[in-house]
Amino acid sequence: MPAATFTHSVTTRSTVDDAWAALQEPQTWSNIGPVASVSDPRYTDDGVLTTFNWVADIGGKKYDGVATTTFYSAPERFELTMDTSELAGDVVATIEPGNPGCTVTVEITFRTKGILSAMFFPAIKQALATGFPRQIEDLVATI
């Protein structure tokens, strides 16, 4: 099935700890790529986001999915796998300290799983290519 990867970095005056805290908020991940909404977050005892439900909007049709943290190294790296019946993806977010502030880099690789999403792959890829940088800049602006 088709796949595509997009990466964008943004430097902020916010601290590494503030950036890490923002990545642990499920709402941070809403409106990134095909994510239309998020809900039902779960956390480790030390506050790391482990899973949440999400809804993908593909060609005007909604698909329920689950995001699961696959790896983290606080406060510099956070990885998620996001899965629905039609679309799956991997997200890697890294935070690098700066002076002042930090740089947040988000990489998303998405792949289609079903016939419908494969048909919409060119449109999804184009939407991500044009919207992803702004989405990450908006994400970092909230930190």
Q: Is the pLDDT of residue 143 over 90?
A: no
What's the token pair of residue 43? 């956390």
Q: What's the rounded mean pLDDT across residues 77-94?
A: 93
- For residues 94 and 104, the answer to whether their CB atoms sit within 8 Å is yes
Q: 113 is in which domain, residue-wise?
A: 3-141
Q: What's the rounded mean pLDDT across residues 77-101?
A: 93
Q: Is the pLDDT of residue 82 over 80?
A: yes
User: Checking phi first, is residue 6 left (phi over 0); if not, alpha (psi -120 to 50) or beta?
Assistant: beta
pLDDT-derived band of residue 116, with 50, 70 and 90 as boundaries?
Answer: low
- For residues 100 and 19, the answer to whether their CB atoms sit within 8 Å is no
- Residue 78 belongs to domain with CATH number: 3.30.530.20
- Alpha carbon distance 95, 54 (integer Å): 24
So what's the pLDDT on residue 79? 97
25-73 residue pLDDT tens = 999 998 787 788 999 999 999 999 999 999 987 767 788 999 999 999 9
Q: What's the rounded mean pLDDT across residues 93-122?
A: 87
Provide the number of structural domains found in the chain.
1
What are the distances in angstroms from CA 73 to CA 31, 50, 61, 118, 129?
A: 24, 13, 35, 34, 28
Burial of 12 (0-12, 13-18, 19+ CB in 10 A): buried
Interior/surface letters 26-65, b for 16+ CB within 10 angstroms, e for the rest: bebbbebbbbeebeebeeeeeeebeebebbbebeeeebeb
Of 2, 38, 1, 39, nearest to 125 by C-alpha is 2
* Predicted TM-score (pTM) of this structure: 0.90
Q: Is the pLDDT of residue 24 over 70?
A: yes
So what's the pLDDT on residue 64? 95
DSSP 93: E
DSSP 86: S
